[in-house]
Chains A and B, each alone.
Chain A
Amino acid sequence: MRLLGWLALALLATLGIGSIAAVATRGSSVVELPAGFWSVLRFTILQAALSSALSVACAVPLARALARRNFVGRNLLVAALGAPFLLPSLVAVMGVLAIYGRSGSIQTFLVWVGMPTFNIYGLSGIVLTHVFFNLPLVTRLILQGWSDIPGVQFRLSAQLGLRAGDIFRVLEWPMLKRIVPGALLLVFLLCSTSFAVVLTMGGGPKSTTLEVAIYQALRFDFDLAAAATLAVMQVLVCSVALASVALTQGNVAFGKTRFAVQERWDAKSNRHILADLSCMVLAVLFLLPPILAVCTRGLLPIFSGLPAGVWQAALRSVCVAFSASAITLIIGLATANLLDELRGANSRFGKVLGVIGFLPIAISPFVLGTGLFILINAIADPFALALPLTTIINASFCMPLALSALLPAFAKARERNFRLAQALNLQGWTRFRIAIWPEIRRPALFSAAIAAALSMGDFGTVALFAPPDGGTLPLLMQRLMASYQMDEAAGVAVLLVALSFGLFWLIDRGGRFGNQI
């Protein structure tokens, strides 16, 4: 078990440091930056900053409304907010286009009443789609902050006659001050490395991000040096953002935490109720129609015949998802077990090693991809290895998520069962099976489930490597969209969503089935 842990860490370190080294050596030989480099960098930061600011600004009132109102369907609504994180990014793009796009419902209506239309492509479309993705995530993050305020403190406030403004100052502002910076940075990080959204929503060279530029350099210009330089910049941007992200926070946003409702005596007036109600209605109106639009459009093609090659692509996608999920599970468990043992021994060395597991956050999938591309290109044809590479990159990208779920679970298992295990002289594998596995089964399979769903919907890495025929479902969907076969694309989208959420449900279910704890 321990040996496996060292192997896993070594593998992660090689992947992370190796790819950084590869892009750094390859990129540093270029003195001049690729054409348009500064505008790409500026746009990357601009769209990420706008997306994170807007997501958080909208999430705060929504989270507050959910924190203080109880109604039938509240739990369903909160649970549904966890779903967009698992939604394949291309499906979200398609949904947003179906509502806000050129021939979407809103523009069609505007034309019908004779109002001027707008262009969704470019900055506005990218930010809109990013908010669509991240608003629910941030809402859950902040809602957790609200639920963590002890309910009795609101009773206390009511008794002391504190009004809404006082309560904001005394209870809510300190909580927001603690949570919002991390949330902002998390969204910034996710948006600065987002690929599918920018590729499909971007309006030409003016709205290109580093990731898309890397893709173009590799795929179209085959300019490894330029790609490497861009990748180095991408690492820098992410590292700067990462420097202050609290790693543990990400877990809350899509975990299965219970979000308690708090009774609020300061918000019983109609004005407050109306404000909260409109927040929730607006959120549902923003989030639901795009998904419904894809589903209604895609249901018919599902029965009337999907495009050729769809089942092969689906099979490839499922294979990639299952392998990535298994790799995440095995490497995650081995690494977490080792890190936890080192932490138990209070080793400083262990803390340093712990950083390796979180390296993939700073290295976007594309940087890892570029690095591997450069390394493999020297000895073999990277395009021939498209699917294994995609699997490995997806799995390593899920590693920080898995570790942030697994490490606390290991620590808890240690605290609860370790002394007993020592007293009974349980060692190695037996100890893991009896004292640790029952405690960590749920978070372990939950991370595996997330890895499966994210890999299923991944469009970035696979686009970087895959040959024209032999891609996965998202790749097929993107080709259909690019050739304006929207009905077929919607059909593939529905299949993709069903498979993503189906795999997630199946694997996550395994963590809960027959679990007595």
Chain B
Amino acid sequence: MEIRFDKTTLQLGLFRIDADVRFPAGKITALIGPSGSGKSTLLAAIAGFVVPKSGSISIGSREMNAIAPGLRPVTMVFQEHNLFPHLDVSQNVGLGLRPSLKPSKAEIAAIDAALDRVGLLGMGGRMPANLSGGQIGRVALARALLRKRPVLLLDEPFAALGPALRHDMLDLVAEVQTEDALTVLLVTHLPDDAKRIAALTAVVSDGLVSDPVATGRLFLDPPNSLSEYLG
């Protein structure tokens, strides 16, 4: 599903960002830019946590402004605190199906299948405190997949991982994106992340969002805003 910002202004206190941009359906688009540039705010607005001051945001053909976060065709993986610490892995993933902690047989099978997909089969009984950073990312991704929403928003969920683990996770995202034909927005501050899996990349800086262009071309001939950031 295409994500469209129509002359949208987002304001949080003194911070303000203007967006008039489209992110195409069925592709991975990376959002890159300095920290504090508003990348996460854009995702929060798509997910419904920040209400635009003016303009609108549409997903597919539907205008989203009046729709509650839980009803949008969107699922988001956050930077941290993705898991409820008092629930085990299965319960955390199961919340992707419905807000009950007592899943049916069919639902248990679906949860196990989702865990299998992210390489965590058999870990359903673990508590979040006993998981590594990489495993926590995988559980969050498993829940996101189980929700079967066409749009997946990733807000630097792998930023705290080492290079090898981060590459594994990015490859996993690329894999499920192809299989489920998802529209993915990936916020990152690392050019390598974008180069690895994002077909398109948009630059966020100075309160503005550039149109997404092919990632390879962008880094070969970076615009001013990007080359300043890359240094």
User: Which residues of A lie under 8 Å from residue B71 when comparing CB positions?
Assistant: 161
Most chain A C-beta atoms within 10 Å of own C-beta, residue among B47, B48, B69: B69
Flag B74-105 by CB within 8 Å of A: 1 or 0 each: 11101111101111000000011011010000
Most A CB within 10 A of own CB, among B71, B80, B85:
B85
Cβ distance B208 to chain A, nearest Cβ, rounded Å: 25
Q: What are the residues of chain A within 8 A of B87 when measuring CB–CB?
A: 170
With A263-B49, A265-B70: A159-B76 Cβ-Cβ less than 8 Å: yes
Within 8 A of B (CB), among A440-471: none
Taking a contact as CB atoms under 8 Å apart, the answer to whether B69 and A158 are in contact is yes
- Could you tell me if B81 and A156 are in contact, using CB atoms closer than 8 angstroms? yes
The listed residue (A152, A170, A174) touching B78 by CB distance below 8 A is A152
Q: Number of A residues whose C-beta is below 8 Å from B? A: 18
A162 CB-CB contact with B under 8 Å: yes
The B8-60 residues at the A interface (CB cut-off 8 A) are 44, 47-49
Closest to B82 in A: A156
Contact between B75 and A159, CB atoms less than 8 A apart: yes
Shortest CB-to-CB span from B60 to chain A, Å, is: 18
What's the least CB distance linking B121 to chain A, in Å?
A: 23
Contact of B68 among A150, A152, A155, A158 (CB under 8 A): A158
Whether the Cβ atoms of B99 and A162 lie closer than 8 Å is yes
Do B81 and A163 touch (CB < 8 A)?
A: no
CA distance A171 to B78 in the complex (A): 17
Q: Are A159 and B84 in contact (CB under 8 A)?
A: no
Whether, in the assembled complex, A160 has its beta carbon less than 8 Å from a beta carbon of chain B, the answer is yes
Chain A minimum-CB-distance residue to B71: A161
Write the nearest CB–CB distance from B222 to chain A, whole angstroms: 32
Q: Mark A6-48, 1 if CB is under 8 A from B, else 0.
A: 0000000000000000000000000000000000000000000
Choose from A152, A153, A160, A171 the contact partner of B70 (Cβ within 8 Å): A160
Q: Please, what's the 1-or-0 string for A171-198, where 1 marks a CB less than 8 Å from any CB in chain B? A: 1001000000000000000000000000
Q: Quick check: A150 and B86 within 8 Å, CB to CB? A: no
B101 to chain A, nearest CB (A): 8
Report A163 CB to chain B, min CB distance, Å: 7
Docked Cα-Cα span, A166 to B82, in Å, equals 17
**Complex CA distance for A389 and B123, rounded to whole angstroms:** 62
CA distance A265 to B86 in the complex (A): 21
Interface size on B, residues (CB 8 A): 26
Chain B residue with the shortest CB-CB distance to A161: B70
Residue of B nearest to A177 (CB): B86
Task: Report Cα–Cα, A293/B170, bound state, in Å.
Answer: 65
Main SS at interface, chain B:
loop
Quick one: which of B81, B98, B101 has the most chain A CB within 10 A?
B81
Nearest to A151 among chain B residues (CB) is B81
- Give the distance in Å from the alpha carbon of A166 to the alpha carbon of B102 in the complex: 12
CB nearest to B72 among chain A residues? A159
Interface SS majority for chain A: helix
Given contacts A152-B81, A153-B81, contact A160 B68 (CB under 8 A): no
Q: In the complex, what distance in Å separates the CA atom of A149 from the CA atom of B215? A: 38
- B95 to A162, Cβ gap below 8 A? yes
Given the interface contacts A156-B78, A159-B69, does A171 sit within 8 Å of B49 by beta carbon?
A: no
Q: Which of A150, A161, A174 contacts B81 (CB 8 A)?
A: A150
**Residues of A contacting B99 in the complex (Cβ-Cβ under 8 angstroms):** 160-163, 166
Q: What A residues does B44 contact at CB under 8 A?
A: 155
Report the bound CA distance from A171 to B84 in whole Å: 7
Closest to B100 in A: A166
Which of B76, B80, B99, B101 has its CB near the most chain A CB atoms (within 10 A)?
B99
Q: B78: which A residues are within 8 A, CB to CB?
A: 152, 155-156
Closest to B76 in A: A159
Given the complex of chains A and B, what is the CA–CA distance between A166 and B101 in angstroms? 9
Evaluate contact between B81 and A160: CB separation under 8 angstroms: no
Q: Given that A155-B69, A265-B69 are known contacts, is A160 also in contact with B96, CB under 8 Å in the complex?
A: yes
Report which of B47, B95, B98, B147 forms a contact with A155, defined as CB distance below 8 A. B47
CB contact under 8 A between A158 and B81, given known A163-B99, A265-B68: no
Task: List residues of chain A with CB within 8 A of the CB of B84.
Answer: 153, 156, 170-171
Residue of B nearest to A153 (CB): B81
**Closest beta carbon of chain A to B57's beta carbon, Å:** 15
The residue of chain A having its C-beta at the shortest distance from the C-beta of B74 within the complex is: A159
Inside 8 A of A153's CB, which chain B residues have their CB? 81, 84
B152 to chain A, nearest CB (A): 12
Q: Which residues of A contact B79 (CB under 8 A)?
A: 152
Bound-state CA distance A171–B70 (Å) is 17
CB distance from B91 to the nearest CB of A (A): 9
Most buried by A among B70, B80, B87: B70
| B49 A155 Cβ-Cβ under 8 A | yes
What 1/0 mask marks residues of chain A from 122 to 160 whose CB sits below 8 Å from any chain B CB?
A: 000000000000000000000000000010110110111
- Known interface pairs A155-B76, A158-B68, A161-B70; 19 further A-B residue pairs with C-beta atoms within 8 A, sorted by A's residue number: A150-B80, A150-B81, A152-B78, A158-B48, A158-B69, A159-B47, A159-B69, A159-B70, A159-B74, A160-B70, A160-B95, A160-B99, A161-B71, A161-B99, A162-B70, A162-B99, A170-B101, A174-B86, A263-B49
Between-chain CB contacts (< 8 Å), 13 pairs: A152-B80, A153-B81, A156-B84, A159-B75, A159-B76, A160-B70, A160-B147, A161-B71, A162-B95, A162-B99, A171-B86, A174-B86, A265-B68
> What residues of chain B have their CB less than 8 Å away from a CB belonging to chain A?
44, 47-49, 68-71, 74-76, 78-82, 84-87, 95-96, 98-99, 101, 147
> Footprint of B on A, CB under 8 Å?
150, 152-153, 155-156, 158-163, 166, 169-171, 174, 263, 265
**Closest 9 A-B residue pairs measured CB to CB?**
A161-B70, A150-B81, A174-B86, A158-B69, A166-B99, A162-B99, A152-B81, A152-B78, A160-B95
